[in-house]
Amino acid sequence: MAHILLCGLGDLGQRVARSLCERGHQVSALRRRAEAPDGVEVFPQQLGQEPVQLPAAPVDLVYIVMAPDERTEAAYRDAYIRAPIAVLDALAVRGERPPALFVSSTAVYGADQGEVDELTAPAPDGFNGRVLLEAETAVFQRTTAVAVRLSGLYGPDSVRLLRQVQQLAADGAALPASVWSHRIHRDDAAALLVALGEARLAGQALPPVVIGTDPQPVSNHEVLHWLASELGLTLPPAAAPAGKRLRSRYLAVRPVAWCYPDYRAGYRPVLERFRNGELS
């Protein structure tokens, strides 16, 4: 059994924490609120704004699963740079440099880089990607780490695209520009993070970067048209996609058992809940 520390305990972090507890690990978490899944010892605090309160037991592995309060550069810096650095530095003060898994984003790649995998040089074109790339570097400077660059996270309550389809159909508006789109369900992202953590604890070598995305890149127009069909709506014709197309070298060699291997599998439960009035 290992002692695993989570920095951040939002929706994704809670999924990871529950899975780690089920595997028999001791799990601690640092977050603002005191609520936590059963079996997780939580230390409520405002990371990066006060002295870090750590669990007493030595830490074997750190997950950094932070999320900003708002979509501003200042909020991104607080969540992805200031908070993780505070935790890793506090651990170093007491002589601990446990390996870390840092949840990053494929936003570190530019929108128009074409074929992209873990060997592609980052070229962020927005503040979010620039801050995340800076955060990765800061973590790498402090410990052995893996930056897990996730594509678009979604889950059983993700209705943004459904609302977009309804609005497009109602307005008769043109579709947005056609681009390659990528996603990973939160359940699959959590499974990937747990698998990476177990591999690290078992002493397996891991690459410094892992792209986490489902195995079916698809144009945003295809997704919109499929959702429209499922909702009995009609949209303007689709066009060929442009932009970057992601491929995970790591998952090509060490595949996970996907719960939702493509957007159709992932969105069917959302559509069912949406039709039943459980989501609005």
- pLDDT tens, 173-189? 899 999 999 999 999 99
pLDDT-derived band at 113 (thresholds 50, 70, 90) equals confident
Strand blocks (E) in the chain: 3-7, 26-31, 40-44, 61-64, 100-105, 115-116, 145-150, 152-154, 180-181, 183-185, 209-212, 218-219, 245-246
What is the H or E stretch that residue 201 is in? helix 186-201
Q: What is the pLDDT of residue 65?
A: 98
Percent of the chain topping pLDDT 90: 94
Q: Is 107 helix (H, G, I), strand (E, B) or coil?
A: helix
pLDDT-derived band at 228 (thresholds 50, 70, 90) equals very high
Q: What is the pLDDT of residue 243?
A: 93
Domain ranges of the chain: 3-156+183-216+245-260
Predicted confidence (pLDDT) at residue 279 exceeds the cutoff of 90: no
Q: Is 42 helix (H, G, I), strand (E, B) or coil?
A: strand
Predicted confidence (pLDDT) at residue 280 exceeds the cutoff of 80: no
Give the rounded distance of the alpha carbon of 60 from its chain centre. Answer: 22
What kind of fold does domain 3-156+183-216+245-260 have according to CATH? Answer: Rossmann fold (3.40.50)
Q: CA 151, CA 213: separation in Å to the nearest integer?
A: 5
Q: Is 154 helix (H, G, I), strand (E, B) or coil?
A: strand
Q: Which residue has 């603002």 as its token pair?
A: 32
What is the H or E stretch that residue 139 is in? helix 127-142
Q: What is the pLDDT of residue 248?
A: 97
> Per residue in 237-255, is it b (16+ CB within 10 Å) or e — as a string?
eeeebebbbbbbebbeeee
pLDDT digits (tens, 9 = 90+) for 250-277: 999 998 899 999 999 999 999 999 998 8
Strand partners, 44: 31
Q: CA 258, CA 188: separation in Å to the nearest integer?
A: 6
Strand partners, 103: 148
**φ, ψ for residue 176, nearest 5 deg:** -65, 170
Q: What is the pLDDT of residue 48?
A: 85
Query: Residue 278: how many CB atoms within 10 A of its CB?
Result: 11
Q: What is the pLDDT of residue 5?
A: 98
83-87, 142-146, 231-235, 251-255, range with the lowest pLDDT: 251-255
pLDDT digits (tens, 9 = 90+) for 170-227: 998 899 999 999 999 999 999 999 999 999 999 999 999 999 999 999 999 999 999 9
Predicted confidence (pLDDT) at residue 18 exceeds the cutoff of 80: yes
pLDDT-derived band at 152 (thresholds 50, 70, 90) equals very high
Whether 140 and 203 have beta carbons less than 8 Å apart is answered as: no
